[in-house]
Every structure is written in C-alpha cells, then in structure tokens.
Structure 1
C-alpha cells in the first residue's frame, strides 16, 4: 500500500466516523421533531374531521332523519367531499414543506399560504364532486361554514406548531451547528443575526473559515474545510464568497460526501433585492432579479382593496370632513384643502391633497427656516414649525390632515400603503439607491410610518421603504394597515 493509499484510507475512515456521529446525533434530533410533527398533525386531522362531523350532525342529519329518507347516499356524498378536500389540502401543504421543522417563514406568510391551499383544495374537491354529480346534494351553508372554520383552525395549528418549535429551540432541544465560509462583511452580519436570534432559530455559529486567519473567530483557512466540518460536527454550511467560482466549486465537491446543508448567500443580497426567479430559457440557466412581488394578480388585488377601502372610508368619515372644514376656517384664513405637487411612481408628478394645517404664506416663510431643519437628507422637518396653525397641530399629530389623500387613492395616484410621496426638490437630490422608492405607488401610510414616523432619519426611511418594496406580501400589507391605527392614535413621532 502506498502512502497516498494510506492517506486516502485514513481520510475515508475519518469521514465515515464523522458521518456516523453526526447521523446518530441528527437521528436523535429528527426523532423528536418527527414525534412533535406526528402529535400536532394527528390533533390537526382529528379537529378537522370532528368539526365536519359536528356540522353535519347539526345541519344535515336532522333533515334526512326526520323525513325517513335513506341516508346511505347522503353519507357517501359528504364522505367523498371531506376525503377529497383533506387529501388535496395535505398534499398541497406537504409540497410547500409546511411540515418541515426547519422551515423559516413568517407566520403572516404561512397564513396567506393556508388561505390559498384551502381555496384551491375546496375548488378541486367541489369540481370532482360535480363531475360525479353529487354536488346538488351538498349543503352550501355547511360547506361555506366548514371552510371558514377550517381556515381558523389551520391558522391556530400553525401558531401552535411555531410556538412549540420555538420553545424547543429556546431550551436547546433543537440546535444546529453552523459554519460560515468568509469572515467579510456578509459573514459577520450573518453571525450577528444568528446571535441576536439564537433562541428563536436554534442555530449555533461555531466560527468562520477565511484565508485571512488574522480575523477574529477564524477557525482555519478555506482549505481546512473538511477538517473543521469533522471536528466541529457542522450541520449547516453558509458560503458568503460566491464570487470565487473555482474555489466554491472545489469546496462543493469536497463536502458533497458529508451530510451537511449547503447554503450560498448571493453577493449584493441586501441591495439587488430578495425576490428571484430561476430561468433556463437558453443554454445558460440564470436567476432573474424581480424588483418587487407587487405585480400581476398581487397588484390587481392591492389596487382593488385600495379603492374599495378608500371609497368606504370617505363615505364613513364625510361628517368628520365637514366638521374639520369648519374648524380650519374658524382657526385661520385661507382654503380648507391644500394641494401640493409630489412625485409618484416612476417619477411622475401629481397633486397630493391634504387638509391645510399651515398658514397660507407658509412657502414664503419656509425660505427663512433652512438653518432650523432638524432632519437629515433631502427632507425638511421641524418639530415646532412656526408655520403650523393651532388646529393644524392637532390635525398633524393624529394624521387627520392626511385623510383627503383618500381622493388620490381613488384617482390611482397613491395607494393606502407604500413609500411617502416626496417633493420635486427632494427627488432632485436622490441617489440611484433612493430612486428604488419610486418602483411602486406612494402610500398614505407605510412601514416607516409604523416604525417611528418622523423620529427616523432619512436613510432609515429609505431602507424601510425598500424592504417593503422587495418583500411585499399580503401578510405584510395587513400588518402595516393594522399597526397604523394604534400609531396614529398615540401620535408618536408625528409633527
């Protein structure tokens, strides 16, 4: 046997030993996860079936039992529907990896997926039942009531599942050891994120691999990858240096034989966007960067919701509008409404409407207040602005002056939720990064408004707006909408 053969045998034996150790450790952890999954899944299925039986006995059974009609076909029809519905639902949710313990997704996002899965399962089950010609025997009231209750129960069990997993992670029952390749900016930010969220994600960062061994917490060079994986019993490997193609390819070939989750973080992940689509239209596969998920059907739903809520709100608050108009006229001379040129989606200007909260010659006084600006960046803000009227200060504190912007929403210039529309002179000072705010319609409220309002600096506004644009979801939309109400009532950060 040559020395090379001996080294290969030794390395192979060491790799096998490591693999066995980690496999045993993972198997024990997976058994606990599997047991938790089975318990929750069993309770979930039992609840769904029990709910359907209860509704059937209350709504359908008395009608047929009292009439002396043969109940066998009725039972068969309802049994077919519930079996179809539940089977399709669990197939869809399983395909979406709903029952994977390590699935990292916000609860609001999961709720949206539940609604889609329930709707699709219901439509398919009804369609199959129609083809079998038994839908005419099914109670519409029962089906609608059951699907509505099912959504609530499914959301409850998603919460229970997440809560249970979080408790196990906090107690150290579910812990996964992480190694980060690359101790640069991205690698350090990743480690800091894991340290902040350690009790929630169950990850334990062992350190970095980097050819610059002088950096802190570096366990070795990239060439030491296999040795560190074995020694530290690594389960998850994050690669933050994808630009080094040859080196990354070499690493991947070296660690394929280990039972390690490999995760690659793309360069410029924090700027180019977080939504990607994989395509293989040519001989070369590529990842297309999607500016925002707010497009297609999502955009249609958002615009429909915007206009519906704007119309209903205007209708409901019309008496308040009349009362505010009287107060503005009594407090100071000038028009009731104030319109101002703002810049909207794709840089298009429009007139934005507000209740007048300043004196009529506010634009002239503004020229003498430049030295008192308390905001940074291309914006102008003063907490004790001398141009604001007495009634205007109250309107601004509780954002009542913003209500006429509902007219802009109806016209299609604005949305209920989105980045705040800037002034032309502010946009003239924008960098390319700031222009990302123009990719969607501006909004009456947004993520930065519910995260601190005017107490945040301009760059924080931009970062929150871009976060909203790149990570838009129906769940995030609802979250911002519901958080706006208490923020407005408290008047925090408004001036």
Structure 2
C-alpha cells in the first residue's frame, strides 16, 4: 500500500479510519510552510508578456486609426475603441488565465487561452457596435483584432522557445518533490530529468521505507519517507509536489496532503499512470458525485482521417512541384558521383502491416545491403535498428544528403500515393516488425510518416525504447494540430542536423 500509517504535523501516528486518527469528517491540521511568492523569473516573464501584448494592442489600434485618419476626431467612437483595446486586450488575457504561471512553457493551454481572449474581444466589439450603433471601422473587427490575436500567439511561441532554452540550462524551473512507490518515482524522476524543458527540477523524493536506499542511489536526490513530504518541501524550498499513482490508499493520502498544502502556494500534481495518454483524451467525469478519470478511445478513422489523407496528398503535390529543381539536381549529383541508380527502393511495412516500396535517394554504395553482415559487430543501436555513426557504406554526397534529410524527399511520392503520411511513426523494416511485441505493433495502426516525433526529438541519437515511446505517444494522441506543430518543428530539426548520420 502507498500509505499504511501516516503522521500528523506533530509526529503522532495516524491510522486512516482509526479512533483518534484520520476520519472522513476530520480535517488534519496543515503544517505551517508559509505562503510562497512567485519566483522572480515568473514576475519578470509576466511583465514582459503584458508589456509586449499591450504594445501589440496599441499598434493594432493605431493601424485602424490610420485607415480613417481624416475622419478621427477627439471623442469619436473609433478613437475610444482604439484606446479601450490597450486595456481590454491584456485585461482579457489575464481574465482567461493567459498570465497564469502554470501555462507558461508547456502544453497547449496557453495558446487556447490567448485564442479565447481574441474571440472575446471580437465578440465584445461586434456586440457593442451593433447594440450602441457605433461607427466602428470594419478594419477593427475583421482585420485588426484577428491580427492582434495571431501576433500574440506568435509572440507567445517566441517567448516559450526562449523559456524552454533557459529551462534546458537549468534556469526558470520549479523545484519538485516526487512522492510514491520506488519504481514509479524513479520512472517519473528519469522522465523529468531527461525532458528538462518541462521546467520541473526534482530536488527530493518521498517513498516507502523499502525503496529509500534504491531511490537514493539511482535518482541522486535526497530521499525521505511518505510522512516527510512537507519537511522535504520546506527544506528544499519546493514549489511543487508530484504524486505518482499507486495503491488503494492513495485517495486518503492525497486528500490529507492537499489539505496540508492549503495556503502554502505549493502546487500538487498527480501522475495518473497513463504516461502516453494525454490531452483531449483525458476528462474528469462525475458519476453520482464521484469524479472519475475518463480515457477516450484513440480515433483511427473518421472525418479527421479523411482530412489528414487529403491534406497529405495536397501538400505532397505542392512540395513536389516547388522542389522539382532541387530533386532533379540531387538525382544528377547522386548519379554522377557513384555507380548505380539515383533512387533506392526498399520494402517497408505500413498501415495494418501491409508492405510497400519506400523511395529514397541512394546515399550508400550499390552493394550496401550485402555488406551489412560484416558490419553488425559495430552496431551502436540498443534495439531492433541498425545504426553506425560513421557508416563506411555511405557515399560523400550521401553523407551530405543525410545530414540535411534531403535523401528522404522522394518519400513525397509515397505520400502522394497514399502509402505514407507527412507525419507518423518511422516506417519499419519487415524483419523489425517480425520481432514486434503487442505494444510495439500499435505503431502499425496509423500510416508511417515522412517525419514524426522521432524526427524532432533526436532522430538517430534516440534509443530504441525512446523511439518506440515517441511513436506510441503519437499513435495514442494524434491530432491535426499536432501534425502541424510537428511539421513546423521538423524544419528546425533538419537545420540543426542533430542526430542525422
């Protein structure tokens, strides 16, 4: 059990449900930690956002006034509307929670809240213009407010990129105490230490007595018992408590912990144990007053799939037309610098386990497949893939093509033909699929992609386990918005050339 015995802030044992201990009607006395003020970086970051977005509102209002320069006089409704925008825009952003610390740097909530504020400003301007018969310029409603919303979203993206870089360097982070069973705690600590851009810095852990030595040794952070959470938080000035999912007594433990954290400003997070299921698929549903976590089934068909397939083909066709000169030059370069055809054809496995022929520009010598057995001893992969950092079979032109991912351009023909998608899991080889277990086989529930989470997260530098985890995360949580985001990040990944060899 996660918690067999608990303690009060004075150190006395509490046995849940026992006389004199914790009961359903009793409320434990919170341990005094003191109210935590926002870190300095949060205040600076918020002030910078408010200033920038107020300036954007001013520019939007000024642009509208310039379109009616000859008609604007003191006291005209349009002038008042432009001035009101200076206050209304940051005010509504604050009202929708866009300046809340918890949305900074991660997730899509921040963008949704900015979009909601834009909708509210648009609706408010339209409503007042109609009800009060105000002579507001159509440019304000049709152009300026939507443009202001888009500019704010772009500004948030730039600010977030900067914040994530700082977090990767160990700055602008929250200090976290992780609580739970040993295995679950170690898994969460590993994830948080690897994905530093999330901004959660593990400073301590609280586990069951049997797990203390192991967690202390492997996690490299101070470790206490489940009754020491508040003491650990106070000692390490923690901002957040993260509780991993576990046993049948977790509800009682969480309830008491949440009471003890009241008034401290410390955030309580709970890992639901569904690491790769996220976002829109998770909902809290009340059943006769009992809140339960509802996990919706992943959608592998329907109108979104139709839109995705149509968009893939349209974008692939346009890209082939625009890149035709580049593709022709690469084909000539490959043909002139090494013996053999410019295109390399290879059997891969796609949607539903069906095989297809994947096209690439040839980046290796013609007999590369026959040399594979002699190189297996130098394989650096920890899974089913074969990887070499300096593969002797790669030609000089092929090495350049691989560094820039230009060897994959012919796969646009696969996308146009419907065997691949622009975004999806990495297309596997038949011998890899033959060794898949049940969980890894879920990669075949969607079309393989020209790019994907694996492409923007390290490419060949990823371990087999990490590559599979990213592919399964995409399969479980894919959406059209995610595809657009991955395509945008692919450009940066290709230019950085990280993990390409």
Q: In the TM superposition, what are the counterparts of 1:14-53 in structure 2 within 5 Å?
A: 21-22=32-33, 25-26=34-35, 29=37, 39=47, 43=51, 46-53=54-61
TM-score by structure 1 length?
0.70
Task: Provide the residue aligned with 1:480 in structure 2.
Answer: 489
Q: Which residue of 1 aligns with 2:7?
A: none
Q: Which of the pair is proportionally richer in helix?
A: 1
Determine if contact 1:84/1:125 at 8 Å carries over to the other structure.
no
The one of 175, 179, 182 equivalent to 2:180 is: 182
State whether residues 418 and 441 of structure 1, in contact with CA within 8 Å, keep that contact through their aligned partners in structure 2.
Answer: yes
Residues 119-149 of structure 1: per-residue CA shift (max 9 Å, x gap): 6346535653675596996243885255324
Q: How much does 1:422 deviate?
A: 1.0
Partner Cα separation in structure 2 for residue 384 and residue 192 of structure 1: 30
Shift of residue 173 of structure 1?
A: 11
Correspondence list, 1:321-470, <5 A: 321-330=327-336, 335-357=341-363, 365=370, 369=374, 371=376, 374=379, 375-381=381-387, 392=398, 395-469=401-475
Contact 2:316 2:415 in 1 (8 A): yes
Q: Structure 1 434/124 Cα, relative in aligned 2: closer, same or farther at 3 Å?
A: same
Report if aligned partners of 1:55, 1:146 keep a CA contact under 8 Å in 2: no
Deviation string 1:12-64 (CA, Å, 9 cap, x unpaired) is xx976x55x43xx31x61698997698567635642442244223322122x2
> Cα gap change, 1:360/1:141 in structure 2, threshold over 3 Å: closer, same or farther?
farther
| Residues 213-254 of structure 1 deviation map (CA, whole Å, 9 limit, x = unaligned) | 7534553455x77888899998744332x4322x22332453
Cα distance in structure 2, aligned partners of 1:85 and 1:140: 17
Kept in 2, the 8 Å contact 1:118–1:151? The answer is no
| Deviation at residue 187 of structure 1 after TM alignment | 1.7
Find out whether 1:266 has 2:247 as its counterpart.
no
Question: Could you say which residue in structure 2 is the equivalent of 1:244?
Answer: 247
Deviates more, 1:478-487 or 1:273-282: 273-282
What SS does the aligned partner of 1:422 have? Answer: coil
CA separation of 1:339/1:42 partners in 2, compared to 1, >3 Å: closer, same or farther?
closer
* Compared CA separation, residues 338 and 80, structure 1 to 2 (3 A): same
Instruction: Report how many residues are paired.
Output: 461
Q: Which residue of 2 aligns with 1:277?
A: 282
Question: CA shift at 1:447, angstroms?
Answer: 3.5
* Mapping for residues 98-247 of structure 1, pairs under 5 Å: 98-103=98-103, 105-106=105-106, 109=108, 112-113=111-112, 116-117=115-116, 120-121=119-120, 124-125=123-124, 128=127, 131-132=130-131, 138-140=137-139, 143-145=142-144, 147-153=146-152, 155-156=154-155, 179-191=177-189, 201=199, 205-212=203-210, 215=213, 216=216, 217-220=222-225, 222=227, 236-240=240-244, 242-245=245-248, 247=249
CA contact (8 A) 2:104 2:160 kept: no
1:76-95 mapped onto 2 (5 Å cutoff):
76=77, 79=80, 91=92, 94-95=95-96
> What is the rounded CA distance, in whole Å, between the counterparts of 1:291 and 1:478 in structure 2?
25
Matching of residues 45-64 of structure 1 within 5 Å: 46-62=54-70, 64=71
Hey, what's the Cα distance between the residues in 1 that align with 2:272 and 2:164?
A: 28
User: CA 1:484 to 1:415, structure 2 compared with 1: closer, same or farther past 3 Å?
Assistant: farther
Q: Secondary structure of the equivalent of 1:339?
A: strand
Q: CA deviation digits over 1:264-301, x for unaligned, max 9? A: 2223x445667642264866764344576998787677
* Alpha-carbon spacing, 1:226–1:457, altered in 2? closer, same or farther (3 Å): closer
Greater Rg by CA: 1
Provide the C-alpha distance between the structure 2 equivalents of 1:100 and 1:342, rounded to a whole number of angstroms: 46
Over 3 Å counting, the alpha-carbon distance change for 1:442 and 1:130 in structure 2 is farther
CA deviations on 1:163-197 (whole Å, 9 max, x unpaired) are 799999x9999976x55432502223445666789
| In structure 2, C-alpha distance between the alignment counterparts of 1:455 and 1:196, rounded to whole Å | 14
d(CA) in 1 for partners of 2:366 and 2:161? 55
Question: Residue 328 of structure 1: CA displacement?
Answer: 4.7
Q: Distance in 2 between matches of 1:45 and 1:367?
A: 57
Contact residue 207 and residue 218 of structure 1 kept, 8 A: yes
